[in-house]
Amino acid sequence: MSSALELWLVRHGQTTANVAGLLSGWLDVPLTEQGRTQARLAAQRLAGRRFDGVWSSDLERAVATARLAWGEPVADRRLREIHFGELEGRRWGDLGGDREAALLEFLRFRAPGGESIEDLRERVLGFIGELAPGRHLVFSHGGVIRLLTCDLGEDRFLGNGGIAVIDWSGRRLRRIWELASDLS
């Protein structure tokens, strides 16, 4: 029996908060019509593949993406986006230069009244540490996927509906599919 662990990470489709330029974190916001289209495009990439587990964040945007792209996932709150605390629901352009720079730098970011990247890492790696060997499909958020790619020495932020394939056991990024370009 192989002990290899492969993660297929899918970022949720576009949301109403994405369109408005808002930090949504733990806010439960719905997909837009374009977000539903992105989920259906992800389904085309996933078609015909076999997974040993299908998981999602418990937030509506990730669960809805999973349902449209694959089917019913097992929801786990550890797969949520970073909790932005006092910044939840704030417009990106209103954050101010220092906060914007810290969030773009990412690895040292700490949301006032929310989580740090280290807090996010602890809960996400706790989830991954409990996965059985095999290939797992995970519907989650941009910050979660960026954290995992950073841990592999890559700093990748996927667009909505994007897919990253990670050989977690081998500690390498295998493939990225960005779906936004498929919508034009």
SS3 assignment, position 19: helix
- In whole angstroms, give the CA distance from residue 144 to residue 180: 19
Q: Which residue has the higher pLDDT, 83 or 93?
A: 83
* Tokens 């280290």 -> residue: 118
Report which DSSP code applies to 88: T
Which entry of 12, 83, 136, 141 is annotated as an active-site residue? Answer: 12
User: Catalytic: 12?
Assistant: yes
The second-level CATH assignment, the architecture, of 5-168 is 3-Layer(aba) Sandwich (3.40)
Q: For the segment 21-67, what is each residue's pLDDT rounded down to a tens digit?
A: 999 999 999 999 999 999 999 999 999 999 999 999 999 999 999 99
The stretch 141-160 carries a mean pLDDT of 96
Q: Is the pLDDT of residue 1 over 70?
A: no
Which entry of 6, 33, 60, 81 is annotated as an active-site residue? Answer: 81
Q: Does residue 90 contact residue 23 with C-beta atoms inside 8 Å?
A: yes
Where in the chain are the domains? 5-168
- In whole angstroms, give the CA distance from residue 79 to residue 143: 10
User: Catalytic: 81?
Assistant: yes
Residues 6+ apart with CB under 8 A from 26: 59, 80, 81, 83, 84, 88
